Structure 1
């Protein structure tokens, strides 16, 4: 699937063969706030087991997002980023719009994500704090990639 966004030079694709895995790994392991220290093997396994979206300008990947899903009832949006030199141009909004409009992700009952600083971006797409926070539990190991 390739989708041209509002900015016709920015394209989003789910074609795994186009993903710049070394760039994705470098960003996540060195520059993200959520996966510093993650191994290349873990990044590759996460890509293999997710619906991935690459954002491209002139054939160069500048953005990424992935969705972990059963394609029926549950989806979790993860690892969303735009490389720093391309931020502030609306590419994150365009990327998320394409993710949310993907045909395989329609009719999902629970679509989740975790963010520490981009609440307003995701609120534009219908994300909100849990309606029943007392029903949410997690097992979280924030420093697992550093051990």
Structure 2
């Protein structure tokens, strides 16, 4: 494993490198390819965002859509490729789970295609009652 610099985490939206977030989501993510900058801006504006920084450079991101009382949905969690394998995804998840505004939520959800092991470390499981959950899902909504 490469040497690790300390990851600094902030929820101050003014510190976010929005162009970096937009580029990653629109070009490299498996869930939001083709998303517009306007939608990314609106999503950030209406969410609790966590930026992860190494030496002042943003290298990680997570976003929670929440009412701050009963429900949260964790989305857009990523570490940029050249900084993976250093434990930063765990660090940003620790910050998300420790945030005082997210304590005591009755339901905290997420969707993942390949990071079940990471999220299981933080208490996420398959739905206990999947028959009660429904969704409207448009996976290619941003691709024209």
The question of a shared fold, defined as TM-score above 0.5 by the shorter chain, is answered with: yes
- Please list every run of 5 or more consecutive structure 1 residues that lacks an aligned counterpart in the other structure: 1-6
Pair 1:43-2:62 in alignment: no
CA RMSD in angstroms, aligned pairs only: 0.9
Verify: 1:99 aligned to 2:109, yes or no.
Answer: no
Q: In structure 2, list runs of 5 or more residues that go unmatched.
A: none
1:22 alignment counterpart: 19
**CA–CA distance in structure 2, aligned partners of residues 17 and 42 of structure 1:** 17
Alpha-carbon distance in structure 1 between the residues aligned to 2:14 and 2:6: 20
Matched, 1:108 2:110: no
Which residue number corresponds to residue 65 of structure 1? Answer: 62
Q: How many residues align?
A: 141
Work out the CA distance in 1 between the residues paired with 2:20 and 2:124: 28
SS in 1 for 2:27: helix
Question: Once the two structures are superposed, what CA deviation does each residue of 1:23-64 show, in whole Å capped at 9, x if it has no partner?
Answer: 000000000000000000000000000000000000000000
Distance in 1 of aligned mates of 2:22 and 2:138? 20
CA deviation vs aligned residue, 1:60-116 (integer Å, no higher than 9, x gap)? 000000000000000000000000000000000000010000000000000000000
Higher relative contact order, chain-length normalized (CA < 8 Å, sep 6+):
2
Alignment correspondent of 1:77:
74
Cα offset, 1:9, TM superposition:
2.1
User: 2:9 aligned with 1:12, yes or no?
Assistant: yes
Residue in 1 aligned with 2:116?
Answer: 119
Shift of 1:8: 6.7
Q: Which contiguous aligned blocks of 4+ residues in structure 1 show a shift greater than 6 angstroms?
A: none
Cα distance in 1 for partners of 2:109, 2:40 equals: 20
